[in-house]
Structure 1
Amino acid sequence: MLARIFRPSKTAMQSGKAKTKDWVLEFEPSAARRSDPLMGWTQTSDTASSQVQLAFETKDEAVRYAEHHGIAFQLFDDKPAKRIIKAYADNFAFGRKVPWTH
């Protein structure tokens, strides 16, 4: 069973960085999801991929856990966030490329 180790990114609905500090070990699905013929819901017989998610404080702890338990893993390093520094006064700067209007 293959596992992914990654640091989750923030969701589009949040402005802060909550739940993005820990590293997550999550199992890849071993079987494709199929739809229920009666209700149309998707289902799978593999509970490990959809219900098991382990959180670790550091990347090294997650890698050590996977190696200790013999779990094959794929490591995804996080990309640094691109920071755009803005100030309210920049809206009224003399050298502004686009004129400010209402």
Structure 2
Amino acid sequence: MPIARIFQRPKNSMQSGRARTDQWQLEFEPAEAKQPDPLTGWAGSGDTRDQIRLLFPTAEAAVAHCERQGWDYNLVPAPEKKLKLQAYADNFR
């Protein structure tokens, strides 16, 4: 039985905006450990569910999809957004 992880996409450290951070993403937990390829050294496995990522507008929609498919799921709550308010003049104190 596949186990899905549902989480809200975090903001990338390289982006200044909040594009696509309001979406919820569904990924599957890895079923087997990755093994290094003897020829190239790249990590890989026979688990193809690692390549699947589904996007949903809400957490409820992602949970409903898992329940329709009969998958177990772990819902990771959205992280609390913290604002760091400071003025430009604070750089020169």
TM over 0.5: yes
- Tell me the residue number matched to 1:73: 73
Q: How far apart in 1 are the matches of 2:46 and 2:61? A: 29
Q: How far apart in 1 are the matches of 2:89 and 2:47? A: 55
Q: Greater CA radius of gyration, 1 or 2?
A: 1
1:91 Cα deviation after fit: 5.2
1:1-102 aligned at under 5 Å gives the runs 1-49=2-50, 51-90=51-90, 100=93
Q: How far apart in 1 are the matches of 2:45 and 2:89? A: 54
1:19 Cα deviation after fit: 2.1
Gaps of 5+ in 2: none
Count of aligned pairs between the two proteins: 92
Aligned CA distance change for structure 1 residues 89 and 73 (closer, same or farther; 3 Å): same
Question: TM-score, normalised to structure 2's length?
Answer: 0.90
**2:14 aligned counterpart, secondary structure:** coil
Q: How far apart in 2 are the matches of 1:91 and 1:39? A: 48
Question: TM-score, normalised to structure 1's length?
Answer: 0.83
Residue identity over aligned pairs, in percent, reads 45
The AA in structure 2 aligned to 1:23 is W
1:90 Cα deviation after fit: 4.6
Q: How far apart in 2 are the matches of 1:46 and 1:13? A: 30
Gaps of 5+ in 1: 93-99
Q: How far apart in 1 are the matches of 2:91 and 2:53? A: 45
